[in-house]
Amino acid sequence: MTRTRHRVVIIGGGTAGITVAARLRRAGQTDVAVVDPTETHYYQPLWTLAGAGCAPIGESARPQASVLPRGVRWIRRSAVRADPDAREVALDDGSVLGYEQLVLCPGIRLDWDGIAGLRSALGVDGVCSNYSYESAPATWRAIRTTRSGTAVFAMPAGPIKCAGAPQKIAYLAADHWRREGVLGKVDVHLVLPTPGLFGVPEYAEVLAGVVRRYGITVHFGSEVTAVRPGAREVTVRSRATGETFALPYTMAHLVPPQRAPEWIGESGLAGQDDPGGYAEIDKHTLRHVRYPDVFALGDAGSSPNSKTGAAVRKQAPVVVANLLAAQRGAPPPARYGGYASCPLTTARGKTLLAEFDYTMRPAPSIPFLDTTRERTDMWYLKRRGLPFLYWNLMLRGRF
């Protein structure tokens, strides 16, 4: 059995892992390893725009080697289990990786089987999802070929990455059909597990106007539990009563339920009562509540913030500051306030920039700019500005 050891081991080479690694290198850390088997790094926020025909999907992908910070060891394996008492991580090739400090950011697991029939139906006869690089282009094909009938857009219950994405594509599709003059012939349905369109009233009010503008029927407190491509219908279940009904579709954009990787719970790193199996951390320090040498951020952490890249941008400096303080035996000096941002595309050329924190109140980051309304400049920030900042500054630990 091969055994190696590093001062800091980062599980996951996505947005969170690369950003933390870059910040640690800039802070002078010389023994940092990133564990991730993926050869390609994705800027996932672009997938919604690709699914709406507003951006090429290839623009979201770059070689992982091109974003890995210099001086960081890249271990191209998958973590399968951790032993936080022994400070070790088992990898899928049977090797064991020791650490002094562990940063957990392996992302989130898409449960394509969480909706019965979805895995086999994906990409066939109008069933699509923007939640993978491979399937997002099928969304645009479904939108542009739908000229009448019923379009269903659904969000699953529980935490998911970019919780606004299931709504964004619904609005972009409706705007496309409006421009094509067929919106009245396409009956748009939005299935949400939540009691409202958004958890922040100021943004929910704007989205209510968007829904009225497009004539969208919203099924609150509901979720899609099954899809039957042969019958061209989905099963919608009320979360309150358990009652179900069949909703026909011409096209259906479905989002799989999501959970933390199973090995986090199996390693004793998740909370006992957490059905999603997320790493149990203090929501402000992002340090594990039982293992002080373990930190977590991004989608796999238990902090109750929206799971977005914008949240990672605020979390990464907190993790690095508190990790470095722990090396000195000092208490955590940095705190994360739950900031997240969701640029809600409401039409081609219009975006509502929703920024909020643990208080669930607007938390604008751009002075003197009213982001509680749909704006054209926020569309260009979404389409051009944020990708530029991501590739050139955030992944280099500078933003």
Contact between 348 and 54 (Cβ < 8 Å): yes
- Mean pLDDT over residues 282-287, rounded? 98
Among 275, 276, 195, 201, smallest CA distance to 240 is for 195
Is residue 97 predicted with pLDDT exceeding 90?
yes
Distance from C-alpha of 353 to C-alpha of 304, rounded to nearest angstrom: 20
Distance from C-alpha of 369 to C-alpha of 365, rounded to nearest angstrom: 9
* pLDDT single digits (tens) 133-185: 999 999 999 999 999 999 999 999 999 999 999 999 999 999 999 999 999 99
Is residue 2 predicted with pLDDT exceeding 90?
no
* pLDDT single digits (tens) 346-386: 999 999 999 999 999 999 998 888 889 999 999 999 999 99
Catalytic residue among 54, 105, 128, 342: 342
Domains defined along the chain, listed by start: 3-108+260-337+391-396 (3.50.50.60), 112-257 (3.50.50.60)
Distance from C-alpha of 264 to C-alpha of 273, rounded to nearest angstrom: 14
Residue 104 banded pLDDT, cuts 50, 70, 90: very high
- Mean pLDDT over residues 256-284, rounded? 95
Res 155: pLDDT = 98
Res 366: pLDDT = 86
- Catalytic site includes residue 162: yes
- Catalytic site includes residue 54: no
CA angle, corner 384, sides to 378 and 386, nearest 5? 75
Residue 3 banded pLDDT, cuts 50, 70, 90: confident
Tell me what percent of the residues of the chain surpass a pLDDT of 90.
Answer: 96
Res 369: pLDDT = 87
Residues 6+ apart with CB under 8 A from 229: 117, 120, 121, 124, 125, 127
Catalytic residue among 54, 105, 128, 162: 162
Residues 6+ apart with CB under 8 A from 60: 42, 43, 44, 46, 47, 50, 133
Is residue 318 predicted with pLDDT exceeding 70?
yes
Is residue 1 predicted with pLDDT exceeding 70?
no
Distance from C-alpha of 380 to C-alpha of 35, rounded to nearest angstrom: 34
